[in-house]
Amino acid sequence: MDNCLVICKRLLESLKVPYTGKYLKEKIFTHPQYSSLLGISDTLEDYGVRSMAVKLGPDRLDDFPLPGIVQVSLPNGSYFNVITAVSENSVSLFDEKGKQKDVSRLDFLKSWTGVSLMVEAGEDAAEPEINQKIRDQRIIQGIAIICGASFLFWLGLRVIEIGISGLHLFYFVLKLLGLSISGVLLWYQQDKHNPILQNLCSSGKNVDCNSVLDSKSFQLLDGQINPSLVAFAYFFTGAGLLVGLSFSYITFLAWLSALTIPVVIYSFYYQTKVLKKWCRFCLLIQGVLVMEVMATGGEAFWSGGIDGSVVLLFLFLFTGVILGGIFIKPLLGIQDEIYKSKRQLAKLKSNKELFELSLSRSKKMKNEPQGLGIVMKGEKSKYQVLKVCNPYCGPCARAHPVLENLFAKGNIDLQILFVPGNGDDQKERTIRHLLAIKDKGDSKLMHQALDDWYGAEKKDYSLFAAKYPMNGELMQQEEKLKAMEEWCVKEDISYTPTLFIDGYELPKGYKVEDLHYVLV
């Protein structure tokens, strides 16, 4: 697994910050400074985890706040680790592969470069929209459980209907077991960095699944057909014939089981004498094949004949699975290519010179919105950002935390204007209420109100108004509403959010999230 990704996972778990692997992977892999401490820091910021990069000396190790990320220099390169505990003689950490272990203090100090990332999780630290994602995952898991239970129930009825013997049932279970193991082996070949599978496939001096699976002696068609795919096709087709055509074709399958013995012998010999490496999953599959042969020793497996149509059906299904695997395999790597393309695009967009050139050629603001809407000034801001928004606009809500973060860092002055309600009383009341809060002159209260409004999953004005009560101040906002409306008409604002940077509209092709990299 990628070092930055696994380290972020272990850190979030140590901080008890909820996350989903899919979102985290996308944030890490699409960052323009991928595989860097900056990429990790920016990703953690999305989760509400504050961080600060520092360079420390060996004498500061005991003062380092835990957990935290450190950079270590190893013979094969530099990596990040997560420190979880420090004692007088040892350091507990998650290493570059995400494995938890204790190392001696002296050994750690020898490898530590001093580069570190101190972190602190906020009270509400979590992945954006995590509750909705968890609900969706539970729904998918529930559907999967129902489908699995339904299949097992149907399978049980099928077994009762056929009235098979215990030995036949055991043979069928072996097919399912082989199918499961070969399926995991296929998964490993597509995700060789998975830490769970790596523990099974690379733990031990002579255990190395890659050496076996990637050996040219086990490859066909330039590696497109490999042992895991052949094993999966064999067990899938055999199990399918047993389920779909009953056990009247058991003799044909028994012959196939017997024919696998030379394959088992060759594989065992090759791993032992040639490669001198073992693939645990391959050994498990070989064990299942041997057990199949042992299970077919009874007369019940050899009393029937072999129908030519069954042979053709087996070849058709077996070949179909192989061809399906060949065609599907390239598609499984598309996501990584998408991440790579997004990362390259993000790197291009994070180029400040290119951004400023695009900005200078963009639409220029014609009328100064002096004093309109909500104005938030920083002490030493480099940029002036104007956001024209709608309080009930989804994209406006998603843009809010990005701009708030830039303001909090002191990078921008932020001015927020609202498009008119156009007769929508609820929208106008909400705009009036936000303007009335601004008139109180309490910047902290204003920021909190904006966070509460745009951060709410469901926009409920009555709840918002109850939390921020007013006494007639709403009626004092009429002129301000008209002034914003006139400005929006003059500037021909046609969508929200519309953003202006230093008087120029955000260029097409750039998103609000891209400002995080260029307005620094």
Peptide bond into 67 cis (omega under 30): yes
Lowest mean pLDDT among 65-74, 75-84, 197-206, 322-331: 197-206
Two tokens, residue 207: 């255990």
**Do the beta carbons of residue 365 and residue 491 sit within 8 Å?**
yes
Residue 417 confidence (pLDDT)? 93
Q: Looking at mean pLDDT, say which of 59-68, 140-149, 297-306 comes out highest.
A: 59-68
Nearest to 450 by CA among 469, 430, 423, 473: 430
CA atoms of 289 and 242, how far apart (whole Å)? 16
Least Cα distance to 342 among 27, 9, 19 occurs for 27
At 213 the pLDDT is 67
pLDDT above 80: residue 124: yes
Q: What is the CATH code of the structural domain delimited by 164-332?
A: 1.20.1440.130
* pLDDT tens column, 429-475: 999 999 999 988 888 899 999 999 998 878 899 999 999 998 888 88
Integer Cα distance of 514 and 519 in angstroms: 9
Q: What is the pLDDT of residue 365?
A: 92
pLDDT digits (tens, 9 = 90+) for 236-267: 888 877 766 555 577 788 888 888 888 888 88
Residue 341 pairs in a beta bridge with none
pLDDT at 72: 92
Nearest partner of 399 among 410, 385, 409, 411, judged by Cα: 385
Q: Among candidates 364, 352, 420, which has minimal Cα distance to 392?
A: 420
Phi, psi of 478 (to 5 degrees): -60, -50
pLDDT above 60: residue 11: yes
Listed in sequence order, the residues at least 6 apart from 275 whose beta carbon sits closer than 8 Å to its beta carbon are 211, 212, 215
pLDDT score recorded for residue 467? 92
pLDDT in tens, 180-202: 888 888 777 766 656 666 666 66
What does the buried/exposed string (b/e) look like for 91-109 if buried means 16 or more CB atoms within 10 Å of the residue's CB? bbbbbbbbeeeebebeebe
Report the interhelical angle of 195-202 vs 166-190 (nearest 10°): 110
How many angstroms separate the CA atoms of 339 and 35, rounded? Answer: 13
The percentage of the chain sitting over the pLDDT mark of 90, rounded to a whole number, equals 26
What residues contact residue 321 under an 8 Å CB cut-off, 6+ apart? Answer: 229, 232, 233, 236, 237
* Maximum average pLDDT range among 120-129, 132-141, 163-172, 493-502: 493-502
Rg (CA), the chain: 31
* CATH numeric code, 3-121: 3.90.70.10
Using DSSP bridges, classify how beta strands 112-121 and 100-104 pair: parallel, antiparallel or unpaired: unpaired
Domain ranges of the chain: 3-121, 164-332, 364-518
In the DSSP assignment, the letter for residue 220 is B
Residue-wise pLDDT for 281-338, tens only, equals 788 888 888 888 888 876 666 666 677 777 888 888 888 888 888 887 776 667 777 8
Mean local confidence (pLDDT), 89-96: 90
Structure tokens at 96: 């570059």
364-518 carries CATH number 3.30.70.580: no
User: Which SS3 state, helix, strand or coil, does residue 372 take?
Assistant: coil
Distance of CA 315 to the CA centre of its chain: 39
